[in-house]
Amino acid sequence: MLAVHLAWVIFTLLYAFFPRLHRHSCHPSCSLSKENCRELAALNLNLNISFSNTAKASQDFGHMYHDRPSAVLYASSAQDIVAIVKLAYFSRNHLTIAAKGAGHSIYGQAQALHGIVIEMSSLKGIEVGVHGFGEAAVPSVEASGGELWIDVVKEALKKGMAPRSLTDYLYLSVGGTLSNAGVSGQAFRYGPQISNVLELEVVTGEMGSSLLLRFFGFYERSGDADFTRKGEFF
């Protein structure tokens, strides 16, 4: 009985003073630095992280660079991305991260050699409705950054609507085109896609904070187009 009691005391002390032994164990396939592996394990995102299926994340539309990451995060929410960005920001080992949508970037922009690629296609959700109230109400669509524009169009058409500005190729992710403005043959009349956005939830690279950016005042083409729009952070 004394031996059992003594063992319990030792276990309790280890639990209290060395919490990493039971909470921050590294994944056996993690090829990041030991410190980054421990920090990654501490985020409790293991179910959404792959350390083995990383080949696809080392390819893009340009086929010029093939930088293989050490891990791929299948983000389930903006908070997953916030956690990874914070980890990279405070990392002393220069951990690199990159967001990957449909993979149509070039020059390896969506690749992270020995780092972490955030697979945005796992972020799903499209809701077509009305934004705002009263006279300020406008038809709108709320879409996750990983959704493809072709699916946004299909959902909007069910309600008899369509986005004002689209890229000529629709099998691109919402987040990917908005990060590059989203220019097409319709831009001369309605502006690029980014100019038709009411709100954006943005995860910043500094400190990994999540901000809601609201835009005010759609512009209409009347004479010379006015590309000036106002934004505000919340």
Residue range 14-46, pLDDT digits in tens: 444 444 433 445 677 787 888 888 878 878 776
Q: Is the pLDDT of residue 115 over 50?
A: yes
User: What's the rounded Cα separation, in Å, for the pair 139 and 156?
Assistant: 10
pLDDT of residue 226 exceeding 80, the answer is: no
Percent of all residues in the chain with a pLDDT value above 70, rounded to a whole number: 75
Q: How confident is the model at residue 206 (pLDDT cuts 50, 70, 90)?
A: low
**In Å, how far from its chain's centre is CA 163?**
22
List Cα–Cα distances, 229 to 9, 45, 181, 196, 218, in angstroms: 64, 38, 14, 10, 7
Query: Residue 225 above 50 pLDDT?
Result: no
Residue 174 and residue 152 in contact, taking contact as beta carbons nearer than 8 Å: yes
Residue 228 clears pLDDT 50, i.e. is over it? no
Distance CA(175)–CA(181), nearest Å, equals: 10
Q: What percent of the chain has pLDDT over 90?
A: 14
3-state secondary structure 59-121: CCCCCCCCCCCCEEEECCCHHHHHHHHHHHHHCCCCCCEEEECCCCCCCCCCCCCCCEEEEHH
pLDDT, mean of residues 182-205: 84
How far is 117 from 110, CA to CA, in rounded Å? 7
Rounded CA-CA distance 116/49 in Å is: 9
Average pLDDT of the segment spanning 197-202:
84
Question: CB-hemisphere CA count at 13 Å for 58?
Answer: 14
pLDDT at 181: 87
**Burial of 213 from C-beta contacts in 10 A (0-12 / 13-18 / 19+):** middle
Whether this model's pTM surpasses 0.75: no
Residue 137 pLDDT: 79
DSSP 187: H
pLDDT surpassing 60 at residue 231: no
| Per-chain mean pLDDT for the chain | 77
Mean pLDDT of 93-105: 88
More confidently predicted of 164 and 14? 164
- What pLDDT was estimated at residue 23? 42
Residue 172's pLDDT is 93
Q: How far is CA 101 from the centre of its chain?
A: 8
Beta bridge partners of 101: none
Distance separating alpha carbons of residues 49 and 158, to the nearest angstrom: 35
Q: What is the pLDDT of residue 207?
A: 63
